[in-house]
Structure 1
Amino acid sequence: MKILAIAGSNSETSINKQLVSYAASLVENAEIETVDMNEFEMPIYKHQREVESGVPQEAKNFAAKIDAADVIFISLAEHNGTYSTAFKNVFDWTSRIKDRAVWNEKPMLLMATATGARGGLGVLEAATKRFPLHGGNIVETFTLPFFNDNFDKSTHKIANDEKDSELKEKIQKISALESILEK
């Protein structure tokens, strides 16, 4: 199974990158590619810019990574209740590729984490509503509140046993897709 692990943040110390990396590591025998949003930095989307220059190659490269994956694990950073600007810009540009649904119906584990009590719930709710309109096949969702208390940075694992068990159950459902994907 090929997993594309995406952290919806351009932070060098992204807690969402830590979470998505941990989640992907739970799938046995998976080939994992972790995406860095900084690799897809491009001008802020503007219709006139698209008309004049077309869709940037970085957006096409992002779409190619989606297409090469069997499953997408994504953990979104929450900035003021919604997507980070870095993620939103890549999402916007990728949505402009002709005849393309951004997520291409790939099975997806949609996650978020934050240092507060809601654990990125605002961005998770926004994505849960929006992604299916762009070919998002959301199989499971997961939030991890109070990241600094619930994630052990020294072991790179969830320290809260209840939340860790919850994530592992959701990963099992995703892993069960492997036999379907191989057909």
Structure 2
Amino acid sequence: MKKIIAFGASSSKASINKQLATYAANQFKNATVEVLDLNDFEMPIYSVDKEKDNGIPQLAQDFYAKLGTADAIVISFAEHNGAYSAAFKNIFDWTSRINAKTFQEKQVLLLATSPGPRGGSSVLEIAKNRFPFQGAVVKGSFSLPSFNDNFDAEKGITNEDLKNQLLEIINAIEL
């Protein structure tokens, strides 16, 4: 059985992106899912001085090791001012110091959602363009607009067209 690591790239305790990532990861057939919480990997803000003085934090090493256990990674991005959340960016910065190929040539599904009609599309574009340089084999991307109108905690994506778009992407990924 294949393993999927999923997380919302947000530190919100009620993260809609964590909900979307969890939902999407659980749509894969014949796979186990481990959902990470970025709050479990909170570290000092990255700086070369902190790295020089203290080395790379154990939590960054733990995050990198978790990614290494996956056959595929599902990430859903919160969009803060058009870019990554500070929580994700900091973990990403520290982890990239272990290996610039942070995602270790794993298959990656990139997602984003927001309460608004653009569904985090700006941050999704940033990730789609950046992650291949960081060792991600990007297999697809999907933006869910207007989260509160199109997602239900019990049912998942409630808009059939959007749900089918995501399932088509997921079914095209071979684990």
Amino acid at match of 1:92: D
Give the Cα separation in 2 of the matches to 1:61 and 1:121.
29
Deviation digits for residues 14-36 of structure 1, max 9, x if unmatched?
A: 00011011101111221110000
Amino acid at match of 2:8: A
Deviation digits for residues 85-143 of structure 1, max 9, x if unmatched?
A: 0000000000111x451011100100000011110001001111111111111010000
The residue that corresponds to 1:181 in the other structure is none
Give the Cα separation in 2 of the matches to 1:56 and 1:104.
19
Secondary structure of 2:142's counterpart equals strand
The residue that corresponds to 1:152 in the other structure is 152
Give the Cα separation in 1 of the matches to 2:38 and 2:56.
17
Tell me how far 1:52 sits from its aligned partner.
Answer: 0.6
The residue that corresponds to 1:112 in the other structure is 112
Asked if 1:14 corresponds to 2:15, the answer is yes
TM-score, normalised to structure 1's length? Answer: 0.93
The residue that corresponds to 2:136 in the other structure is 136
Secondary structure of 1:81's counterpart equals coil
The residue that corresponds to 1:173 in the other structure is 172
RMSD (Å), alpha carbons: 0.9
Give the Cα separation in 1 of the matches to 2:155 and 2:63.
26
Amino acid at match of 1:58: L
Give the Cα separation in 1 of the matches to 2:39 and 2:164.
31
The residue that corresponds to 2:84 in the other structure is 83
Amino acid at match of 1:168: L
Deviation digits for residues 119-172 of structure 1, max 9, x if unmatched?
A: 00010011111111111110100000000000013x141010000000011110
Q: Which runs of 4+ in 1 moved over 6 A?
A: none
Which segments of 5 or more consecutive residues in structure 1 lack a partner in the other structure? 179-183
Which segments of 5 or more consecutive residues in structure 2 lack a partner in the other structure? none
| CA separation of 1:6 and 1:40: change in aligned 2, threshold 3 A | same
1:18, 1:156 within 8 Å by CA — same for their partners in 2?
no
Once the two structures are overlaid, the 10-residue window that deviates more, 37-46 or 27-36, is: 27-36
Deviation digits for residues 4-61 of structure 1, max 9, x if unmatched?
A: 0011011110000110111011112211100000010000001100011111000000
Secondary structure of 2:43's counterpart equals coil
Give the Cα separation in 2 of the matches to 1:24 and 1:67.
17
Secondary structure of 2:103's counterpart equals coil
Give the Cα separation in 2 of the matches to 1:58 and 1:173.
33
